[in-house]
Amino acid sequence: MTELVLQALYSGLLQGGSYALIALGLALVFGTMRVINLAHGELVLLAAYIAFTVESRLGWPPVAAIPAAVVVVCAAAVAVHGIVSRIRHDREINSLIATFGIGVILTNAILLTWSADVRSTSSAWLQEALVMGPLYAMRGELVFFGASVALMGALWWWLAKSWHGRAVRAVSSNRDAAQLMGIPPGRTELVSFIVAGILAACAGVALYSVGVIQPAMGAALTVKAFIITVLAGVGSIPGVLLGALLLGVTEALTVTLASSALQELAGMGLFLLVLFVLPNGLLGAAGRRG
């Protein structure tokens, strides 16, 4: 029983790393524009299907699809920004409706292009099991987790040290004050969407590398990303990792100790509990004080 629980914790941590990478782009856009991009999951899924196309048509490993995925997903993210930025009244609710519609369009475009078949990587290297004592995982899961941590560290450095990153933080904190200081909010928001597109592209390629994909997954990915963003607290990058790991471990323990049918319920229960006890998120208040 002890080994079973340890394996569940291990699997939950690796799954949490994948959740964190998927949620990073949504958290960045939400922190900058206070807009929930309901098409984010579809952007991640689009990158996953590009990885499938590169592997199936060219015989290349999924990681080779990252440049193509970045170009296509960033172009789609720029288009989403162009639509959202034109909304002047009731921006929050109208942007939700607009991005939901974009998500539906992307889902149907994926369905028409790649059909409804379930796809998965054929890379034996990524699917090979790595055993460490009583614990085991696919090599792809470990690569996914490492990529999540690396990209999270790169995003934190970019937000903390680069001019554009500091501009994003300024617009997130106070849009009007940032504009008075000479920071163009529109251009800064566009930068945040492009960076979110790069993160979504990497997340999509990684998602295809470790699991199965099908066109209806986009909405579920958006829900996961939204839950983690709220758990983290607005603008908290370390909070995204902490919230994702907490969600992954909770789901893994639920599947191991109870039933797989309760997995999604456990995640939503955790979401509501944290929202009730810590309305600002796990690290939201601390991040604002910083």
CATH topology of domain 2-289: ABC transporter involved in vitamin B12 uptake, BtuC (1.10.3470)
Q: Give the separation between CA 48 and CA 55, rounded to whole angstroms.
A: 11
118-122, 180-184, 199-203: least confident range: 180-184
From the list 24, 23, 26, 28, the residue with the least C-alpha distance to 188 is 28
Find the mean pLDDT for residues 24-49.
88
Q: Quick one: DSSP state of residue 62?
A: G
Q: Is pLDDT of 285 > 60?
A: no
pLDDT, position 289: 35
Per-residue CA distances from 283 to 140, 165, 234, 243, 270 (Å): 29, 19, 9, 9, 16
Q: CB within 8 A of 238, min separation 6: which ones?
A: 156, 232, 283, 287
Structure tokens at 32: 């900058």
pLDDT tens-digit series, residues 259-270: 888 888 888 888
pTM for the full predicted model: 0.90
Specify the DSSP element, H or E, that contains 68: helix 66-84
pLDDT one-digit tens code per residue, 54-69: 999 998 999 999 999 9
